[in-house]
Amino acid sequence: MTQTAPAPQTPQASFRPALLDAEETMTRDQIEALQLTRLQETLAYAYSRVPLYQRKFDEAGVHPSDLKELADLAKFPFTTKEDLRQEYPFGMFAVPMDQVARIHASSGTTGRPTVVGYTKQDLDTWATLVARCLRASGVRPGMKVHNAYGYGLFTGGLGAHAGAEKLGATVIPMSGGQTEKQIQLIHDFEPDAILCTPTYLLTIGDAMIHKGLDPRATSLKYAVLGAEPWTQEMRHELEEMFGIKACDIYGLSEVMGPGVAGESVETQDGSHIWEDHFRPEIVDPFDLTKTMADGETGELVFTSLTKQALPIIRYRTKDLTTLQAGTSRPGHRRMGRISGRSDDMIILRGVNLFPSQIEEIALRIPELSPHFQLEITRPEGRRMDELTVKIEPREGTTAEQRAAAAATLRQQIKIHIGSSCRIDVVEPGSLERSNGKLRRIYDLRTKE
């Protein structure tokens, strides 16, 4: 349970550890003991209430009673986005519809949307966990929070909103888009924190600069950013641009929404997964029988431990990362930076490449901006795919500096990733700006 402060606090109120949820201070042993009982309950609950789970467990020859210790989870079958699509819209709900208090959906790029549901208790847990994340990232009761995650079926807007309210903050429910209005409200309402995607914060900062405003002069002190991969270099860019502390928040609709994991402002060393509610695993995406040890990279898989409307068993996120021991919340493990989704991996002449790798390299070159797109083409008559990095230079750079920066980028990509590519330094302001989750990859192969 979240312990709310007895009286309204000012933003300056010093942080008291007593404000942490009791579960945040649990030891690893306590967490794992809690996980075991919750996991046993969840498996039995899912098996008895969701036909798809019953079918899949039966086919795999496992029964919920086979889970005697945490490692036994590896015997159970995975759940994929495809399962949710097949059961569209409500086939995976474990409660009757009159107990479903809210529905969200994620569109994805192809096929049917995936639909997720929440009971009142699920919504309360969700708000509690988002509140934990916001507090870890520096937000305090009494602060004003500008929420620029999109409201609607996307879990970002309403998820972040409920968490900020639960924390005791004052929420400004701006939603995504309308960048001019965002700037106006940030100026007029003087929020302490902003919640949005990293690329959208960049859009807002950029637009401020173009209007002759200084992003460092706003009232903002904290940003809680997620919903898309971002790098340490992008963190540095945004922290410098606004003079703020920027922390990560991670989540996905199928598992809950934002707030599955969140980063502490004191350590800024990756998001702690709230393991009292989710059991994470890292598996080898090419050999799903192989569970990876802490520190090894693989695909992140989640099992929910308390969800009522949509219990989710070994859900394959497609997100590639590592698990490491917790630091500021030692009982809960931390996620490494997400290098990308396996869906977003470009395989160029046998070399695997993620947009975040390009971001990391480009932002170390002072003449280049964080605005870039990746185009994949297959020129006529050629058997090989080509990658073009379209990137904007920093304003005020000369033609010579731009050419030199392009050559450096090309060389650094070759050295660090192993791919040859074309670099197209385009005019500042010419690439599409983010309104939320930014599309970085343009695959033009089918059009040729």
Taking the complex as a whole, the smallest distance from the CB of residue 346 to ligand DLL amounts, in Å, to 15
Cβ-contact 320, 337 below 8 angstroms: no
Taking the complex as a whole, the smallest distance from the CB of residue 217 to ligand DLL amounts, in Å, to 26
Q: Does position 228 bind ligand DLL by CB under 6 A?
A: yes
Instruction: Pick the binder of ligand DLL from 237, 319, 360, 367 (CB under 6 A).
Output: 319
Structure tokens at 374: 């990746």
Residues 373-432 that bind ligand DLL (CB under 6 A): none
Taking the complex as a whole, the smallest distance from the CB of residue 155 to ligand DLL amounts, in Å, to 5
Q: Does position 285 bind ligand DLL by CB under 6 A?
A: no
Task: Kindly tell me which of 329 and 402 has the beta carbon lying closer to ligand DLL.
Answer: 329
Cβ-contact 215, 237 below 8 angstroms: no
| Site residue total, ligand DLL (CB under 6 A) | 21
Cβ-contact 147, 169 below 8 angstroms: no
Residues 237-256 that bind ligand DLL (CB under 6 A): 248-253
Q: Does position 362 bind ligand DLL by CB under 6 A?
A: no
Dist CA 244 CA 171 (whole Å): 19
**CB within 8 A of 123, min separation 6: which ones?**
101, 102, 162
| Cα-based distances in Å from 78 to 36, 125, 158, 263, 431 | 18, 24, 28, 27, 39
Residues 56-115 that bind ligand DLL (CB under 6 A): 106
Q: Does position 436 bind ligand DLL by CB under 6 A?
A: no
Instruction: Pick the binder of ligand DLL from 28, 341, 394, 433 (CB under 6 A).
Output: 341
| Cα-based distances in Å from 199 to 117, 231, 268, 428 | 28, 11, 19, 16
Task: Kindly tell me which of 9 and 137 has the beta carbon lying closer to ligand DLL.
Answer: 137
Instruction: Pick the binder of ligand DLL from 226, 285, 370, 393 (CB under 6 A).
Output: 226
Structure tokens at 445: 């192969």
Strands (E) across 123-244 are located at: 144-147, 170-172, 193-196, 222-226
Task: Kindly tell me which of 199 and 397 has the beta carbon lying closer to ligand DLL.
Answer: 199
Burial class (CB in 10 A: 0-12, 13-18, 19+), 62: middle
Chain residues that interact with ligand DLL, rule: CB under 6 A: 106, 149, 154-156, 226-229, 248-253, 257-258, 317, 319, 338, 341
